[in-house]
Structure 1
Amino acid sequence: MEKMKTRKPHTKSRKGCVSCKSRHVKCDETKPACVNCDKYGSKCEYPAAQARIVNDNTSPYARVSTPSSADGLNLNRSSPTLGGQTQDYALNIPQLRLLHHFSTVTASTLTSNIEAQDVCRSHIVKIAFNHPFLLHVILALAALHLSWLNQALSQVYLVQAEKHHDAALAEFRSDVQDIDESNFQAVFCFAFILFPYSCAVLIDPKNGPEYVLDTVLQNLALTRRVPPMVRQFYSSMLDSELGRLVPSDTQGIDFYQVPSDRVLVSLWKFSELTSKLYPPDINEAYELAISTLEVLFSVVKRQSERPSVSLVKLWTHQVTPRFMELLSARQPGALIIFAHYAVLLKTCQHYWFMDGYAGQILQVADALIPEEWRSWLDWPKEQIRGSA
């Protein structure tokens, strides 16, 4: 069994929860419960804050339905009413701009299917008006897209994206206690929008590969959490308007039938050579992750069109919790398999939010794997960078 690596300290979080501070890990400071506490089932408590004056309208956790002056672009207008009375209406221009951009531009970039694009720009937005957590994540993705398109205002939009993303997670944890007929569509849409945001969000490499991997895994943990929640409503979802979001290339896949014409030759060889080093639970986790990845490569190879994002995302939902634990522990075997998954992600790099994501994962794996293991990354390097 390979030796577990000692984790390097993370960048400190000044306002992190008590649990994260006691474990000496970086807290994302999400309230009422941070991602780490959600992941490990820990009780999330924050130190008592010092009293200070807070303008509720500037809070990033304020509901979208409450106009905010945080962006400094609100316009107050007086509108005449019956009897000569006037009433003030506050317009939140930044949020309206983000919603307009999502409906007219971003929605069409999330899928190549025309019918699915129509669902994104219309039906999902309509659902979001009754579910603030979904509306926030829509605005977050739109802001992230604008930061990608407009380099001059990139930082401005990144700040907006982060605020709406944090508010979305806070609203989701607060509002979604149970999944039922009234909210399963909103939860499904939330997961659909959250994945491209997680891929496109800027991760500063200056914080080191450990920090980057932690951020990637936190995002994956969020996207992995939603499908089990809505599984019982999957048939109802297919019969609804959201059924048009499900790509045809994700249907009818048999993950138990591994193709004979294998692409991952070196990865299978790695599994064979290291099988005697690991206990059964690790071997099973690795073998399932490799076989699932092989099946998805086979599906991509057979079809004439580019794969959908939903297809390549299936791997993150098929791997076991044990594999995710090994990946979180920086085990070389799990990192090598994850680097091969990056090759599959690269097949979707024509989507703006996937651009550079595969290279980032490969770079992290290359940095964290010991020197004597790095030859197993030759094939991913050839496919992603063009050379070993």
Structure 2
Amino acid sequence: MPVSTPIPSSLETPTSDLAAGPDLDLCLNVTQIRLIHHYTVVTAKTLAHNSDSEEVFATHLVNTAFHYPFLLHAVLALAALHLSRLEEPTSKLHKEYIVLAEKHHVASLADFRASVSNIDNTNWRAILLFAGALFPYFCTASVSTGNDLEYAFGHFLSNLALTRRVRPMVTGFYDEIMSSELGRIIPEDVKGMNWAVAEAPVETELVQLRKFSEVVHQLYPPDIVDAYGYAIHVLELVFVRAAGSAKRPSDALLKIWIYLVSDRYVELLSERQPGSLIILAHYAVLIRRSEQCWYLEGVAERLLSITDAFVPSEWRSWLEWPKLQIRGDPTTPAST
């Protein structure tokens, strides 16, 4: 006769009060599990610039996120946005993922503001990873705002300000970053460059923008001239850096310009001053050259559509080069 094996007491049906109803701690949130799975298996690979950095995004970031709700919500928001881009834009799932991404994004920012008052040796890794997760969301969300350019521009400006605010929190930990496992996520095209003292080369492809800078000197007061001049200077440096690499520009390189333009330039942009919009259109060219990343697809065209709509007709000749680079023809109208 077969010998029966007794069930271990730990696996027997419980007879205590625990059997009276489900333990809330055991309730599964299948949607969030699905998002985490998609992020670790798929999305993380799209954020990495090489196989070495992929491990950091897929493993280290998620492990860190389990201890910091603001980072975990940011991961869930990114995964939901990525899934939305894999669905047909008119599908129900696409819209549901967009809504889900926004909810996690809002929760992420709320928890960050509530729980982070300063940065120190205990939390700088989580804050750095959080700052990195904001940019892909910022880019994708700017395209997911429909055809209302007024709303899209407002959304862009608010995310631009958010990206700029988070960055100074981690700059003081640069040496720690480079000597830690997080140094692997820093792309080569931003390493070894002192942006504060670098000089632009005598010749760049931004020929028209340099001519525009000369015109600006004759039209505006010193504060605007300086703001535009420095924004153009940094953009030239970023373009040259991008041209010196065999790979497409990394999103880290794209963020350099966002980080370094002056507060005065951002003010002028929020006021829709023509010069600030013209410079933004040239920045969009760099984004167009980085569109191998799913979260950058359509961003350059959206920024160009915004600038084309808001720049007065007498200034639009300065947009011909960005239009040629992004659309292939300066007379091609914006896509809808």
Shift of 1:253: 2.1
Question: What TM-score do you get using the length of structure 2 for normalisation?
Answer: 0.89
Is the CA contact (8 Å cut-off) linking 1:111 and 1:309 kept in structure 2? no
8 Å Cα contact 2:49-2:185 kept in structure 1:
no
**1:160 corresponds to which residue?**
100
**2:239 maps to 1:297:** yes
* Residue matched to 2:133: 193
Pair 1:215 & 2:155 matched = yes
In the alignment, structure 1 residue 141 sits paired with structure 2 residue 78: yes
Shift of 1:254: 4.1
Q: Are the equivalent residues in 1 in contact too, given 2:249–2:286 (CA < 8 A)?
A: no
User: What is the CA deviation profile of residues 205-227 of structure 1, one whole-angstrom value per residue up to 9, with x for unaligned ones?
Assistant: 443x2221111111111111111
One-letter amino acid of the counterpart of residue 31, structure 2: P
Choose from 145, 156, 160 the match for 1:204: 145
* Residue pairs, 1:40-119, within 5 angstroms: 84-85=15-16, 86=19, 88=23, 89-119=26-56
1:176 paired residue number: 116
CA distance in 1, matches of 2:74, 2:287: 22
Which of the residues 307, 310, 313 maps onto 2:252?
310
The alpha-carbon deviation at position 230 of structure 1 amounts to: 1.5
Total equivalences in the alignment = 309
Tell me what 1:40 maps to. none
- 5+ residue gaps, structure 1, are 1-78
C-alpha distance in structure 2 between counterparts of 1:266 and 1:254, whole Å: 26
Which structure is larger by alpha-carbon Rg, 1 or 2? 2
User: Within 5 A, what are the aligned runs for 1:238-257?
Assistant: 238-255=178-195, 256-257=198-199
Please say which of residues 209-218 and 186-195 is displaced more in the overlay: 209-218
Other-structure match for 1:366: 308
Q: Name the aligned partner's letter for residue 170 of structure 1.
A: A
Q: What is residue 275 of structure 1 aligned with on the other side?
A: 217
| 1:120 matched residue in structure 2 | 57
- The residue type equivalent to 2:66 in the other structure is F
Look up the SS of the partner of 1:304 in the other structure.
Answer: coil
Report the AA paired with residue 332 of structure 1.
P
| Identity over aligned pairs, percent | 49
| One-letter amino acid of the counterpart of residue 230, structure 2 | L
| 8 Å contact from structure 1 (residues 132, 168) kept in 2 | yes
Matching of residue 339 in structure 1 with residue 281 in structure 2: yes
Match of 1:324 in 2: 266
Structure 1 distance, partners of 2:183, 2:235, is: 25
Alpha-carbon distance in structure 2 between the residues aligned to 1:279 and 1:198: 32
Q: Identify which range, 308-317 or 335-344, moves more after superposition.
A: 308-317
Aligned-partner residue type, residue 291 of structure 2: Q
User: What's the Cα RMSD here?
Assistant: 1.5
